[in-house]
Amino acid sequence: MPIPQYPSIDQFLEYLKFEKRYSKHTLISYQNDLEQFFQYLVSQFDSPDLELISPTMVRSWLAELKEDEISSKSINRKISSLKSFYKYQLKTGTLIKSPMGTIIAPKISKRLPQFVEQIDMDHLFQHMPFSDDWKGRTERLVILLFYSTGMRLSELIQLKEMQLDAAHQQVKVLGKGNKERIIPINKDLIDQLQKYIEEKPANAQQTDHLFVAESGKPLQPKSVYSFIKARLSEVTTIKKKSPHILRHSFATHLMNNGADLNAVKELLGHSSLAATQVYTHNTIEKLKDVFKKAHPKA
């Protein structure tokens, strides 16, 4: 919902879209956070001018969010959105001071990422049957590519045939902020993907997306979520069963088998090493387990 009193929101979103090249999903998150904040100012503080918005007003909004039982993680994201917005205002000279300098984000308890055990992933591909039709072949290859590359759902759905490089056994992925990264894949998977492309249904000729549904149209996020949840339910009892769990499984299994942290960071497309370090905790837990089982003084 546009807020006429604060046209700077639109200018900031244009900056994120065209200069920072943020994804549509990220832009919507920023827009929702900012509009929620400024609508609050309209209703509670009679639309103060941008330069008159104070830290007290920001804290008042955050307190209301907490009363509404919004999670600390969501509140932190909203604080981050506001900080980015005000940083842009300082950069463009619209403001000379930000009210965000004294705003402290609430602490978030660190949770280890859930993942599917390696033995369970092996069981899924070796012993669980997939139907021998286009739907079954698509589901199996999608899950296998997720687990083999750790790519995000948006990256896989948007994957084009031309991004597959069979000669060098790799795939080029377009990640967050339109950043490209190269992920190696084994020859067997390359061969399976090439055969899949060759045997695409006739009604899929209008698209260059790698994966298509029986209708010939690109896969939709909802359907991918649905069949991954169903297939993972056959081999694991973990609570979350989603494409992102396959990404966690990819990273965790790499770390547990001795992969270099920086290499895992590059494969995942993380901008900072801190985001990747969470997977070292699972490695440490595995080492503790080995110690308890194998050492006489454990």
Q: Among all residues, which ones are annotated catalytic?
A: 152, 176, 244, 247, 270, 279
The pair of structure tokens assigned to 298 is 């454990």
Q: How far is CA 139 from CA 74, 87, 124, 133, in A?
A: 32, 44, 12, 10
Q: How far is CA 129 from CA 132, 234, 237, 242, in A?
A: 9, 11, 19, 19
| Residue 68, amino acid | D
Three-state DSSP class for 97? coil
CA 238 to chain centre: 19
E strands in the chain: 164-165, 170-174, 180-184
The pair of structure tokens assigned to 235 is 């081999």
Contact 209, 158 (CB under 8 A): yes
The pair of structure tokens assigned to 247 is 């990404």
CA distance 187 to 210: 17
- Name the residue with tokens 């920086």: 262
The pair of structure tokens assigned to 284 is 């440490």
